[in-house]
Amino acid sequence: MGSPSALPLLLLFASCWAPGGANLSQDDSQPWTSDETVVAGGTVVLKCQVKDHEDSSLQWSNPAQQTLYFGEKRALRDNRIQLVRSTPHELSISISNVALADEGEYTCSIFTMPVRTAKSLVTVLGIPQKPIITGYKSSLREKDTTTLNCQSSGSKPAAQLTWRKGDQELHGEPTRIQEDPNGKTFTVSSSVTFQVTREDDGADIVCSVNHESLKGADRSTAQRIEVLCMSWAYTPTAKIRPDPPHPREGQKLLLHCEGRGNPAPQQYLWEKEGSVPPLKMTQESALIFPFLNKSDSGTYGCTATSNMGSYKAYYTLNVNDPSPVPSSASTYHAVIGGIVAFIVFLLLILLIFLGHYLIRHKGTYLTHEAKGSDDAPDADTAIINAEGGQSGGDDKKEYFI
């Protein structure tokens, strides 16, 4: 009975002296590391430790087996890789601005006899892009059913998409996953279908992406929807307004298609009779002629469209208008010319009155001067001197009138 109880002690004693016991005594020379996870663009620290270095240095190598650091000596010229700590028992390095290509197994080695190694698996997370919502084109009618699509690229591993309307969760289709061309990241997509009510008018339909790289941060996109109550919605109308009102050859012309409706028209189609295909289809309501030519003459149609219907307005453009309409500049010049002519007329009248005034006052002055002299005749008397003959002496006759 005593022999079986002593057997475990004998086995333990043998193991201490067996060659395997020598391996146990060498475990202190085995380095150890840990796996690391880092977000793309972030910084990862690789730490390798050993208890008994046996007068040897630790070394870090990348997945391509390129030596990064041997002790405190840099081996690879990559400024992103920096020494954090180097002692006989530890070698720690950091890699900044980590890229997806940096993912893989990094090796820590110690050159004892034999060489011992430890592996550190670095996992790089791809950050998903902001989701994009498609499928909403225009206002919805009450009780319409609509489908919205959401997509986000660049996640690694694949992200998950969720839907909500305001604070209410919407149950969309399961997230679809597709590998990106780089072979490392993924594009995820999802869609949701729901029926709208009048209470949904102005509501935000939100698509959110969930991924561990976001660390709880919100990354979502909202699409606001408009729901029309059929009691006040009506089909659109339109009319075409030219600017300038009377276009001439060589001018710039804008034809404005002024649409009315509830909801307002979202699309305008311009056409010219006898011309195919249509001139323009756009959300802008104006058709622009930078330089009018005679060939631009014709009948133009504008179709204004909303989800309630459409309306087509017409306008006939005649570039060869035979009755030119004066421009605002010529009207301005005509007004200025009239004012100048009126001023000149007033000056002429003033000059005439001034001349008449001066003439009258000059005559009055001469009359008063004559009356002030003793020999001077009256101002109303004309003196006529007639010379008579020589007989009897020189006689002078005065005639007074």
Q: In the chain, how many domains are there?
A: 3
CA neighbours within 13 Å on the CB side: how many for 364? 6
Domain containing 312: what range? 234-317
Q: What is the pLDDT of residue 338?
A: 87
Percentage above 90 pLDDT, the chain = 54
Residues 212 and 242 in one domain: no
- Band (389; pLDDT cuts 50, 70, 90): very low
Residues 110 and 89 in one domain: yes
Is pLDDT of 396 > 60?
A: no
**3-class secondary structure, 88:** coil
Residues 118 and 150 in one domain: no
- Least confident among 46-50, 125-129, 256-260, 334-338: 334-338
Residues 45 and 107 in one domain: yes
- Beta pairing, strands 44-49 & 90-95: antiparallel
Is pLDDT of 40 > 90?
A: yes
Residues 36 and 100 in one domain: yes
Q: What is the pLDDT of residue 363?
A: 60
- Least confident among 108-112, 268-272, 315-319, 395-399: 395-399
Q: What is the DSSP letter of 182?
A: T
Each residue's pLDDT tens digit, 193-218: 999 988 888 899 999 999 999 998 99
Q: What is the pLDDT of residue 184?
A: 93
Whole-model pTM over 0.85: no
Is pLDDT of 51 > 90?
A: yes
Q: Side chain identity at 18, as an amino acid letter?
A: A
Residue 48 lies in a domain: yes
Q: What is the pLDDT of residue 10?
A: 35
Residue 193 lies in a domain: yes
Of 183, 210, 228, the last residue of a domain is 228
Q: What is the CATH number of the domain that holds 277?
A: 2.60.40.10
Q: Side chain identity at 103, as an amino acid letter?
A: E
Residue 10 lies in a domain: no
Residues 120 and 200 in one domain: no
Q: What is the pLDDT of residue 315?
A: 95
Give the sheet arrangement for strand 298-306, strand by strand. Answer: 280-282, 267-272, 298-306, 309-317
Residues 175 and 108 in one domain: no
Of 228, 243, 269, the last residue of a domain is 228
Each residue's pLDDT tens digit, 299-316: 999 999 987 889 999 999
The arithmetic mean of pLDDT across residues 323-345, rounded, is 75
- Band (367; pLDDT cuts 50, 70, 90): low
Is pLDDT of 188 > 50?
A: yes
- Distance in angstroms (rounded) separating the CA atoms of residues 273 and 275: 6
Residue 369 lies in a domain: no
Residues 111 and 35 in one domain: yes
- Gyration radius of the chain over CA positions: 53
Of 317, 333, 365, the last residue of a domain is 317
Is pLDDT of 174 > 80?
A: yes
Q: What is the pLDDT of residue 258?
A: 92
